[in-house]
Structure 1
Amino acid sequence: MIDPNTLSLPDNATLLTRLSVARQCLNVLRHDPANPTCGQLINICLDLNVYASLVQQLQRSEEGRRLLSERPSLQGKELDLAALERLPPGTLGHEFARYFRDNKISPFETTLELKNDVDFIGKRYRETHDLLHVLTGYATDVMGEMELQAYALGNLGIRTAAFILMFSTLEHLKAPRSVGRSEYLRRVRAAYQRGRASQQFLDFPFEEHWETPVATLSARLCAPAQRMN
């Protein structure tokens, strides 16, 4: 078994090196899907160019430059879930805290050092995953997770999301589960299109909106979900 603490991505790593590290991360994630180190590292391995492009986009706006300068954190150690849950029902803070309680999971954590803006964007993408569940309304079951991956692919062009979707779709087509093949493909496609039609979420200051209603933020950041017949 690979020790995830020994894995790292060298500066200016070649494509071959990135793929090799990504493969090792995948081996860890098969046995430990929530591993924070490999979860972030595989995103950086596969999405280094995507994150670099996103950094360039962020540098062109005042909000983006502030995000890169301040590097806010949504890691578990930065969150007071008890205080957030005391906010009024329907607010982002309350619903975010309840999301963790209801799903019996903990907020994202990582031990990776942030050496540059690209590393920060990789971390920011990972730690906004659970917030996107709250805002988009996608569930945390397999279908909901694939919808969220499709949304992220459409919204940001994340290659890791495409990689996960490819393997999940192949497995689903071989052995469909509670959701039939045609419905699965329809929902994934709808989520991808919704992501493309939505405002990019990565530079949004979620930390400043704990008291804002989820419905308000969802209407601002997310295109309406397609109704499923």
Structure 2
Amino acid sequence: MLVRGRLLAPAWRTLRAAAPALHQGVRCGSAQVYDITAEDLPGDHVGGLYPHHIPTNTLQKVLLSAGSAVMSLYDPYRHDMIAVLGETTGPLALHRLHHKMSRDPEGKRILQERPRIRMSNLDIERFRELPDGTFGREYTRFLDVNDVTPDTRAPVKFVDDEELAYVAQRYREVHDLMHTLLGMPTNMLGEVVVKWFEAVQTGLPMCMLGAVFGPLRLSARRRKKLMELVPWAVQSGRNARCVLNFYYEKRWDQTVESLRAEIGILPPPTIKV
């Protein structure tokens, strides 16, 4: 009973906190809508390093990694599970990304100022008035067409370093910007292509998992298209500078074409995704 009280019960609370969508989230297209605040998880973040942080021991991380990996393979649209997998298995990759950001002037400024991509911080109406082809206009078009918002991204919880937690959150929040720059929708084919690009760029385990196993959920016709798109995504990922080293909030008026060229993303193939 002592073992149950000290080990199994905390592990269960941690697992339950890892997937709030099971209790409070609602399915909305390809995203989960979260209605979670720090107060919704009483006691779970006490002693945490940042808001929403849930301290975990090695066993809990193993359980979270295994459970989230299985759920991610079963349902690739479970972004909450994919997020947990990245947080519990990606500390080395997050360290590398943080190192790259700290050595780049623009990346270093991002680490210092810690901007957040949220609806409350975006002037969406102004973006809609920007000329076609500008980054802000095309990003808003992506949100409208795919019926998503940046607020559907769950907060980081299981990264046991406050600085690395921001890197993970930043990566999570620029994911939709990568869709915009790569010209990929949020359907399964588009997600797999973006995951290939991100796997090469970041080395994060959940990106690699999505890149390798994502095609299993595609039809034969879409797998054929993927065979043409993957080489481009991999080459772009290798050619591009670290995508976290760009202060996108300062670049809404820049054209997508010029921003792609600056980052090093190759022009997308003319394939309907």
User: Cα 1:61–1:226, aligned 2, differ >3 Å: closer, same or farther?
Assistant: closer
2:190 aligns with 144
TM-score between both structures, scaled by the size of structure 1: 0.82
Q: Tell me how far apart the structure 2 counterparts of residues 104 and 64 of structure 1 sit (CA, whole Å).
A: 30
Q: Is the 8 A contact 1:136 1:222 kept in 2?
A: no
Specify which of 206, 211, 219 is matched with residue 165 of structure 1.
211
Partners of 1:150 and 1:165 within 8 A in 2: yes
8 Å CA contact 1:18, 1:45 repeated in 2: yes
TM-score normalised according to structure 2 size: 0.70
**Counterpart of 1:110 in structure 2: which amino acid?**
A
Tell me the SS of whatever aligns to 1:179: helix
> Which has the larger Rg?
2
1:72-106 residue CA offsets vs partner (Å, 9 max, x unmatched): 11123322322321222221111111111111122
For the 8 Å contact 1:40–1:122, the answer to whether it is kept is no
Instruction: Report if the CA contact (8 A) 1:150-1:188 is conserved.
Output: yes
Match of residue 197, structure 1, among 222, 234, 239: 239
Give the counterpart of 1:48 among 91, 104, 108. 91
Change in 2 beyond 3 A, CA 1:89/1:228: closer
2:259 paired residue number: 217
Aligned to 2:29: none
Any idea what the Cα deviations from partners look like across 1:4-46, whole Å, max 9, x if unmatched? 24786536x53x54332133445666669365x5443322112
Mean alpha-carbon deviation: is it higher for 140-149 or for 101-110? Answer: 101-110
> Aligned partners of 2:268, 2:182: CA distance in 1, in Å?
12
For 1:73, give the aligned amino acid.
R
8 Å contact 1:191–1:225 — kept in the other structure? no
Please list the CA deviations of residues 168-226 of structure 1 after superposition, one character each: whole Å capped at 9, or x if unmatched. Answer: 23444xxx343244x42342233112211111111200000111111111111133247
Alignment of 1:103-114 (within 5 A): 103-108=146-151, 109-112=153-156
How far is the alpha carbon of 1:227 from its aligned partner? 4.7
Among the aligned pairs, what percent are the same residue?
Answer: 23
CA contact (8 A) 1:59 1:65 kept: yes
Judged with a 3 Å threshold, the aligned counterparts in structure 2 of structure 1 residues 57 and 134 are, in CA distance, closer, same or farther, namely same
- Residue 172 of structure 2, aligned match among 111, 119, 126: 126
- Give the aligned partner of residue 144 of structure 2: 101
The equivalences for 1:25-36 within 5 A come to: 25-26=68-69, 33=77, 35=79
Alpha-carbon distance in 1 for matches of 2:172, 2:259: 19
Residue identity opposite 2:189 in structure 1: M
Query: Partners in 2 of 1:33 and 1:99 — Cα distance?
Result: 18
Mapping of residues 1-40 of structure 1, within 5 Å: 2=16, 4-5=19-20, 10=55, 13-14=57-58, 17-26=60-69, 33=77, 35=79, 38-40=81-83
Report the AA paired with residue 167 of structure 1. Answer: F
Partners in 2 of 1:101 and 1:75 — Cα distance?
15
| 2:189–2:226 Cα contact (<8 Å) kept | yes
Partners of 2:104 and 2:245 within 8 A in 1: no
Q: Residue 202 of structure 2 corresponds to which residue in structure 1?
A: 156
**2:197–2:237 contact (8 Å) kept in structure 1:** yes
Aligned pair count reads 222
